[in-house]
Amino acid sequence: MSGSYNLSLVFASYCVAVIAAYTAIYFGTRLFTIEGPARKFWLWIGAVCLGTGIWSMHFVGMSAYTMPMNMEMSFSLPLTVASWIPAVLASALALTVITRPTVKVLSIVSSAIIMGAGISAMHYGGMYAMQMTPAIQYDQLIVAISVLIAVVASGAALVICRQVRVVPAKYALATKTAAALVMGAAICGMHYTGMAAASYPMGAEMAGSNALRGQWMGIPTAIVASVFLLVALIVAYQDFRQAERERHEQQERQQQIHSAAFEDPVTGLGNRSEFERHLMQRIAGANHSRFTLVSFELVQFRELQNLEGDAAADTLVKTFASVLGARLGQNTTLARYSSSSFIALTAQHSSAQLEALAAAIRNDLAGRDYLQRFGQWRMGYSHYPESASNSRLLVREAQRAKYSFDYSTDAASAEIA
């Protein structure tokens, strides 16, 4: 014998499935940003939410079904609760897989099979909870199709949840909603295919000891499940926002610590420590490749600082750094090596190229603030490995001035070494 469906409850079961799917997608995307014990905690919260949503959808869908001969539907309480466990375990597996940094295709396939088996166990375990005598009869082909749908839907859900996290923020809500609608349809498809596989023997009766009656498994279940899932989403959203805020604050503190240790506060360039660290790394990985260090010194920096103050000295330093950065280009590592000097690591330059560079920088600096009165600066260079093979000697050789310029007397460049 077969029965009929209340379409309103069918739609309610779909709504519960969609909310459960959205919950899974939300937890799946958020768990990527959480580490440590909190991650395990929220993974299991997500698994309980998703598993409860799928389980609730099943019983709302069951309530949508009118039994043949107007039999009253009822369920064994222990068996009904037991059918919830496979749904939660399958959900935990899903969230574990979709939140891994990398997942192989074989892992997706095997996880989809296990998840599909778990969801099918929940469905047919829930059917068994009716404790019907004679027992429900099943069309084996349709049962196999329902299990296949569960496996395919699980695999699709895993792929969808992993892909949704890389969607641009402005499309995230629409994409998650669309994905939840599709996943909800897949969940319902498995359920109602499984229901189609069942037939009920004439004169069949359910166990009189069944504590759960059908009228309590419909709209009330849908409402309670939906409220539970929505509350869980809201609580999780607030917690994840707080965790994200704390993570950003920690990153900012770490950046500030790094800046204080390795960045010049006036120019924003790397400082001596940062440059020496970079230079040693470059030498270690040079593999016989050549490069050039170029050193610049503001000869009258202290004089300007004493006469005009720190603000004037900072203006000169910023101006000089700006010109050097623009002239040397992006493929050069430029740092403020001391209060009055800069140093750059760049590709190998010939003496003629360095002389042209010095002249170009001199022209770029002409007429800038404080350079008319405090414009003496020097430039030197060294080559790796010709000048030296270790960082300290390379820097020392580069700091020996090769060219000297004085804007206060409008002198031309003069090679002095």
pLDDT score, position 230: 75
- Are the C-beta atoms of 25 and 72 separated by less than 8 Å? no
Residue 211 sits in the same domain as residue 359: no
Q: Is 246 a domain residue?
A: yes
Question: What is the dihedral angle through the alpha carbons of 217, 222, 225, 230, rounded to the nearest 10 degrees?
Answer: -170
Q: Which of 251, 285, 309 is the last residue of a domain?
A: 251
pLDDT band at 353 (very low <50, low <70, confident <90, very high): confident
Domains: count for the chain: 2
Which of 145 and 287 is assigned the larger pLDDT?
Answer: 145
Range list of β-strands (E), 43-175: 65-66, 74-75, 132-133, 137-138
Residue 168 sits in the same domain as residue 206: yes
Residue 240 sits in the same domain as residue 290: no
Tens of pLDDT, residue by residue over 274-322, are 899 889 888 888 776 889 999 999 888 888 888 888 888 888 899 889 9
Written as one letter, the residue type at 140 is Q
Can you tell me the mean pLDDT for 382-399? 89
Q: Is 21 a domain residue?
A: yes
Question: What is the dihedral angle through the alpha carbons of 46, 49, 55, 57, rounded to the nearest 10 degrees?
Answer: -120
Structure tokens at 30: 């958020």
Upstream peptide bond of 385 is cis (omega within 30 degrees of 0)? yes
- Are the C-beta atoms of 2 and 63 separated by less than 8 Å? no
Alpha-carbon distance of 152 to 119, in angstroms, equals: 12
Q: Is 256 a domain residue?
A: no
Q: Is 33 a domain residue?
A: yes
- Are the C-beta atoms of 52 and 229 separated by less than 8 Å? yes
Alpha-carbon distance of 53 to 228, in angstroms, equals: 9
Residue 65 sits in the same domain as residue 149: yes
Residue 231 sits in the same domain as residue 299: no
Q: Is 201 a domain residue?
A: yes
Q: Is 259 a domain residue?
A: no
Tens of pLDDT, residue by residue over 211-248, are 776 655 666 666 776 777 777 667 667 766 776 777 77
Is the pLDDT confidence value at 409 over 50? no
Q: Is 159 a domain residue?
A: yes
Q: Which of 202, 218, 251 is the last residue of a domain?
A: 251
Q: Which domain holds residue 148?
A: 4-251
pLDDT score, position 294: 92
pLDDT band at 126 (very low <50, low <70, confident <90, very high): confident
Structure tokens at 220: 């009330």
Q: Which of 187, 217, 251 is the last residue of a domain?
A: 251
Nearest to 304, CA basis, from 346, 339, 264, 274: 339
Residue 246 sits in the same domain as residue 375: no
Give residue for tokens 């088996």.
117
pLDDT band at 20 (very low <50, low <70, confident <90, very high): confident
- Are the C-beta atoms of 16 and 151 separated by less than 8 Å? no
Structure tokens at 201: 């023997």
pLDDT score, position 226: 72
Range list of β-strands (E), 6-138: 65-66, 74-75, 132-133, 137-138
pLDDT score, position 147: 92
Residue 21 sits in the same domain as residue 86: yes
pLDDT band at 32 (very low <50, low <70, confident <90, very high): confident
- CATH number where 317 lies: 3.30.70.270
The total of other beta-carbon atoms located within 10 Å of residue 95's CB is: 22
